[in-house]
Amino acid sequence: MRNVCLPLAIALLCGPKGIAQADSSSLHARYGEATVERFVPTPQIELLVNYGADRQACEILIQPTSMSIFFAEKRFGPVMDETVVSQILEEVSPVLTRGKGGLSLVTKSGCNQNSVEEFDMVTVSRTFHRCDLTNEKHELSAWVTFKRSACDSIAKARMELQQADKDTTVGKAQ
């Protein structure tokens, strides 16, 4: 009986801080502002926003909603309605604010299609899977990457990760 009461007494004496809970307020108080946030504009679509040093969005990933935080479990999941994704893109990066258009590239391979549109202020990349033409939902993901100096460190880190991944892949092949 004595062994059972001791943990209960400690928990009561320590109060709510003694039993750790990671809620948004306590995490912000302990670690500061989040550099990445997740939003759910529709029940089927989520936005992952990566912020720069100026607390403005540097990258926005639009993808099907997933309950998992593990990237590998999100691959080849449900697809999104292109019209809805286009509306969200217009909300987070209106066409009139993107700057002058530049390079526009579309790559197709089988059912898959990737498109990249370069603008002065932003790059918009979209990925589609178009095998089932009877379904209006074809979009797998959309990326908005903002071109500001506050985002340079994020872009550099992403390039370094991609290079490290390539180096690892080459090393395994040898």
Rounded to two decimals, what is the model's pTM?
A: 0.73
Query: Comparing 2-6, 115-119, 158-162, which segment has the lowest mean pLDDT?
Result: 2-6
Q: When comparing pLDDT for 113 and 10, which is higher?
A: 113
Residue 16 lies inside a defined structural domain of this protein: no
Residue 4 lies inside a defined structural domain of this protein: no
Residue 1 lies inside a defined structural domain of this protein: no
Task: Name the burial class of residue 88, with classes exposed (0-12), middle (13-18) and buried (19+) by CB atoms within 10 angstroms of its CB.
Answer: buried
Residue 14 lies inside a defined structural domain of this protein: no
Task: Kindly report, residue by residue over 104-137, the tens digit of the pLDDT.
Answer: 999 999 989 999 999 999 999 999 988 877 777 7
Q: What percent of the chain has pLDDT over 90?
A: 42
Do 144 and 124 contact (CB within 8 A), yes or no? yes
Which spans in 45-151 are helix H?
Answer: 82-92
Domain boundaries, position 154: 39-169
Residue 22 lies inside a defined structural domain of this protein: no
Helix/strand/coil for 146: strand
Residue 101 lies inside a defined structural domain of this protein: yes
Give yes or no for residue 174 having a pLDDT over 70.
no
CATH of residue 57's domain is 3.30.160
Q: How many domains does the chain have?
A: 1
Mean pLDDT in residue range 8-13: 47
* Neighbouring residues of 136: CB distance < 8 A, sequence distance ≥ 6: 81, 82, 83
Residue 47 lies inside a defined structural domain of this protein: yes
Helix/strand/coil for 107: strand
Q: 64 is written with which tokens?
A: 């099907």
Amino acid at 121: M
Task: Kindly report, residue by residue over 78-97, the tens digit of the pLDDT.
Answer: 789 999 999 999 999 999 99
Query: Comparing 21-30, 80-89, 92-101, 162-171, which segment has the lowest mean pLDDT?
Result: 162-171
The pLDDT score that the predictor gives to residue 150 is 87
Residue 33 lies inside a defined structural domain of this protein: no
